[in-house]
Protein backbone atom coordinates (compact mmCIF):
# COMPACT_ATOMS: atom_id res chain seq x y z
CA UNK A 1 0.00 0.00 0.00
CA UNK A 2 2.76 2.42 0.92
CA UNK A 3 4.62 1.57 -2.29
CA UNK A 4 1.80 2.69 -4.60
CA UNK A 5 1.34 5.87 -2.58
CA UNK A 6 5.04 6.62 -2.94
CA UNK A 7 4.97 5.98 -6.69
CA UNK A 8 1.97 8.24 -7.09
CA UNK A 9 3.73 10.98 -5.17
CA UNK A 10 6.91 10.66 -7.22
CA UNK A 11 5.37 10.58 -10.68
CA UNK A 12 2.08 12.44 -10.32
CA UNK A 13 1.94 15.82 -8.71
CA UNK A 14 -1.34 16.96 -7.19
CA UNK A 15 -1.72 19.62 -9.87
CA UNK A 16 -1.19 17.10 -12.71
CA UNK A 17 -3.65 14.67 -11.14
CA UNK A 18 -6.26 17.42 -10.75
CA UNK A 19 -5.84 18.40 -14.41
CA UNK A 20 -6.35 14.81 -15.51
CA UNK A 21 -9.42 14.41 -13.31
CA UNK A 22 -10.93 17.55 -14.84
CA UNK A 23 -10.17 16.40 -18.38
CA UNK A 24 -10.85 12.67 -18.12
CA UNK A 25 -14.27 12.97 -19.74
CA UNK A 26 -12.67 14.79 -22.69
CA UNK A 27 -10.10 12.00 -22.94
CA UNK A 28 -12.87 9.38 -22.98
CA UNK A 29 -14.88 11.34 -25.57
CA UNK A 30 -11.78 11.59 -27.77
CA UNK A 31 -11.09 7.88 -27.35
CA UNK A 32 -14.70 7.07 -28.27
CA UNK A 33 -14.48 9.23 -31.39
CA UNK A 34 -11.18 7.67 -32.40
CA UNK A 35 -12.57 4.15 -31.96
CA UNK A 36 -15.64 5.03 -34.03
CA UNK A 37 -13.63 6.56 -36.89
CA UNK A 38 -11.08 3.73 -37.00
CA UNK A 39 -13.85 1.13 -36.81
CA UNK A 40 -15.78 2.60 -39.75
CA UNK A 41 -12.57 3.03 -41.77
CA UNK A 42 -11.50 -0.58 -41.14
CA UNK A 43 -14.97 -1.86 -42.04
CA UNK A 44 -15.15 0.35 -45.15
CA UNK A 45 -11.71 -0.51 -46.51
CA UNK A 46 -11.93 -4.13 -45.38
CA UNK A 47 -14.80 -4.99 -47.67
CA UNK A 48 -18.05 -3.53 -46.20
CA UNK A 49 -19.80 -6.89 -45.95
CA UNK A 50 -23.40 -6.36 -44.81
CA UNK A 51 -23.70 -9.89 -43.38
CA UNK A 52 -21.71 -11.63 -40.68
CA UNK A 53 -17.93 -11.38 -40.57
CA UNK A 54 -16.30 -13.92 -42.89
CA UNK A 55 -12.85 -15.48 -42.74
CA UNK A 56 -13.10 -17.39 -46.05
CA UNK A 57 -14.32 -16.32 -49.46
CA UNK A 58 -15.34 -18.53 -52.33
CA UNK A 59 -14.66 -17.54 -55.91
CA UNK A 60 -15.33 -19.45 -59.09
CA UNK A 61 -12.63 -20.28 -61.62
CA UNK A 62 -12.87 -21.89 -65.04
CA UNK A 63 -10.78 -24.92 -65.85
CA UNK A 64 -8.88 -24.10 -69.08
CA UNK A 65 -9.07 -27.65 -70.40
CA UNK A 66 -12.67 -28.64 -69.66
CA UNK A 67 -14.13 -25.10 -69.39
CA UNK A 68 -16.04 -26.15 -66.26
CA UNK A 69 -16.44 -23.82 -63.30
CA UNK A 70 -15.17 -24.93 -59.91
CA UNK A 71 -15.07 -23.15 -56.52
CA UNK A 72 -11.84 -22.01 -54.89
CA UNK A 73 -11.90 -21.12 -51.18
CA UNK A 74 -9.51 -18.34 -50.16
CA UNK A 75 -8.64 -17.38 -46.60
CA UNK A 76 -9.54 -13.70 -46.44
CA UNK A 77 -10.91 -11.69 -43.53
CA UNK A 78 -13.92 -9.56 -44.43
CA UNK A 79 -15.42 -7.54 -41.55
CA UNK A 80 -19.19 -7.74 -41.42
CA UNK A 81 -21.92 -5.63 -39.94
CA UNK A 82 -21.42 -7.38 -36.57
CA UNK A 83 -17.88 -6.01 -36.46
CA UNK A 84 -19.21 -2.51 -37.15
CA UNK A 85 -21.94 -2.77 -34.49
CA UNK A 86 -19.53 -4.08 -31.85
CA UNK A 87 -17.12 -1.20 -32.54
CA UNK A 88 -19.91 1.35 -32.30
CA UNK A 89 -21.13 -0.18 -29.04
CA UNK A 90 -17.60 0.10 -27.64
CA UNK A 91 -17.44 3.72 -28.74
CA UNK A 92 -20.83 4.39 -27.16
CA UNK A 93 -19.70 2.76 -23.91
CA UNK A 94 -16.72 5.11 -23.66
CA UNK A 95 -18.98 8.08 -24.39
CA UNK A 96 -21.43 7.12 -21.65
CA UNK A 97 -18.63 6.55 -19.14
CA UNK A 98 -17.18 9.95 -20.09
CA UNK A 99 -20.58 11.56 -19.59
CA UNK A 100 -20.89 10.18 -16.06
CA UNK A 101 -17.31 11.14 -15.14
CA UNK A 102 -17.80 14.82 -15.83
CA UNK A 103 -16.75 17.11 -12.99
CA UNK A 104 -19.59 18.33 -10.84
CA UNK A 105 -20.62 21.91 -11.50
CA UNK A 106 -20.76 24.10 -8.42
CA UNK A 107 -23.85 26.30 -8.26
CA UNK A 108 -23.44 29.75 -6.74
Q: What is the pLDDT of residues 25-58, one digit of tens each?
A: 888 899 999 999 999 999 999 888 888 988 898 8
pLDDT for 49 equals 85
Tell me the average pLDDT across 73-99.
92
Concatenated DSSP letters for 43-77?
HHHHT--SSS-EEEEEEEEE-TTT--EEEEEEEEE
φ and ψ of 98, to 5 deg: -65, -35
The reported pTM is 0.70
Of the listed ranges 6-10, 61-65, 83-87, 100-104, the one predicted with least confidence: 6-10
Q: Running DSSP on this structure, what letter comes out for residue 101? A: T
pLDDT for 2 equals 58
Amino acid sequence: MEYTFLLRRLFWSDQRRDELVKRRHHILYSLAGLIAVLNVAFWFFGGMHLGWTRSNETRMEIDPVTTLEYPIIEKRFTPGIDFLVLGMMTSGFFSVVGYFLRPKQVSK
